[in-house]
């Protein structure tokens, strides 16, 4: 099994080698990764960063951007996960296939994010704040990344305050999602590494 929802389904072809399995999986997730790159290029100021810092931000943040983009794949009410192929699997089925606590953490995060009821514009601006983070490892010009992130955070705060007059807590709640995304990112890297070690 390959239990990442970025795969078309959790099932892998038993006749395929480790390399073949990875190749099929990468066909499934590559379009989504390309979309993140295109999204980044449209963030005002992103293209003005050094090539090196653009790459570092994308390497570190793509997973987190995808988690926001695909939060709706996790349905806490139904207790199901929809894979990119479009089929829903119950959490129980995935657990029986070997999924662990990380799946539960992903479900919880997605529910909390969706519960905020943000508009598409708000989600998109939040996503830019996630991607443009000066504290990612290997950033050359921390000051420019920081300056850009501050501008984006100011815009996000303005937009949220304008749209949700009685719920000033939403902005704070969103910022609290940032360390959670980091933690999911770290847990997921371990999943990925373990998979690579075994295949
Ligand atoms: C697990 C790769 C993005 C959610 C995994 C595994 C790999 C992987 C190799 C281990 C599979 C296994 O052991 O069966 C990738 C790659 C990604 C990506 C290359 C880049 C596009 C995502 C995203 C999400 C996600 C965006 C969430 C929206 C999960 C979950 C698991 C998983 C829930 C299963 C954990 C468990 O077994 O409990 N991923 N993933 N992945 N991934 Fe991803």
Sequence ranges of the domains in the chain:
18-198
Ligand 1 centroid from CA 11, angstroms: 14
Does the pLDDT value for residue 154 go beyond 80? yes
Distance 135 CA to ligand 1 centre (A): 24
Residue whose Cα lies nearest atom 9 of ligand 1: it is 192
- pLDDT tens for 56-91 read 999 999 999 999 999 999 999 999 999 999 999 999
C-alpha closest to that of 57 among 164, 155, 132: 132
114 has pLDDT over 90 = yes
- Which has the higher per-residue pLDDT, 199 or 171? 171
Residue 83 Cα to ligand 1 middle (Å): 11
Rounded Cα–Cα distance for residues 74 and 4 (Å) = 12
pLDDT for 96 equals: 98
Q: Give me ligand 1 centre to Cα 42, in Å.
A: 26
Q: Are 148 and 49 in contact (CB under 8 A)?
A: yes
ipTM rounded to 2 decimals: 0.98
Q: What is the pLDDT of residue 72?
A: 96
Name residues contacting ligand 1 (CB within 6 A): 1-6, 29, 33, 63, 66-67, 70, 99-100, 102-103, 106, 188, 191-192, 195
Give Rg (Cα) of the chain. 18
- Give backbone dihedrals phi and psi of 137, rounded to 5 degrees, phi first: -70, 145
Collapse the DSSP code of 99 into the 3-class scheme (helix H, G, I; strand E, B; otherwise coil) and give the result.
coil
- Beta-strand relationship, 80-82 and 74-75: antiparallel
Give, using CA atoms, the residue closest to atom 33 of ligand 1: 103
| CATH number, domain 18-198, options 1.10.565.10, 3.40.50.11540, 3.20.20.10, 1.10.10.10 | 1.10.565.10
**In whole numbers, what is the pLDDT of the chain averaged over residues?**
96
Nearest CA to ligand 1 atom 29: 4
Q: How confident is the model at residue 113 (pLDDT cuts 50, 70, 90)?
A: very high
Placement of tokens 């939060």 in the chain: 71
pLDDT value at residue 185: 97
What is the distance between the alpha carbons of residues 112 and 196, in angstroms, rounded to a whole number? 30
Which run of H or E residues covers position 157?
A: helix 142-163
């Amino acid at each position: 099994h390959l239990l990442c929802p970025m795969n078309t389904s959790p099932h892998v072809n038993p006749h395929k080698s480790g390399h073949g399995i990875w190749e099929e999986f990468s066909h499934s997730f590559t379009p989504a990764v390309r979309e993140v790159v295109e999204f980044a290029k449209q963030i005002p100021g992103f293209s003005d960063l050094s090539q090196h810092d653009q790459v570092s931000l994308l390497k570190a943040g793509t997973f987190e951007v995808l988690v926001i983009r695909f939060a709706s794949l996790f349905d806490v009410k139904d207790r199901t996960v929809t894979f990119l192929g479009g089929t829903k699997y119950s959490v129980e089925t995935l657990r029986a296939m070997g999924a662990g606590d990380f799946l539960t953490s992903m479900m919880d995060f997605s529910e909390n994010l969706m519960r905020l009821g943000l508009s598409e514009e708000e989600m998109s601006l939040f996503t830019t704040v996630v991607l443009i983070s000066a504290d990612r490892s290997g950033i050359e010009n921390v000051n420019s990344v920081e300056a850009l992130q501050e501008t984006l955070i100011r815009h996000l705060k303005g937009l949220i305050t304008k749209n949700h007059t009685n719920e000033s807590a939403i902005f704070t709640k969103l910022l609290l999602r940032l360390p959670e995304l980091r933690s999911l990112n770290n847990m997921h890297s371990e999943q990925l590494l373990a998979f690579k070690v075994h295949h």
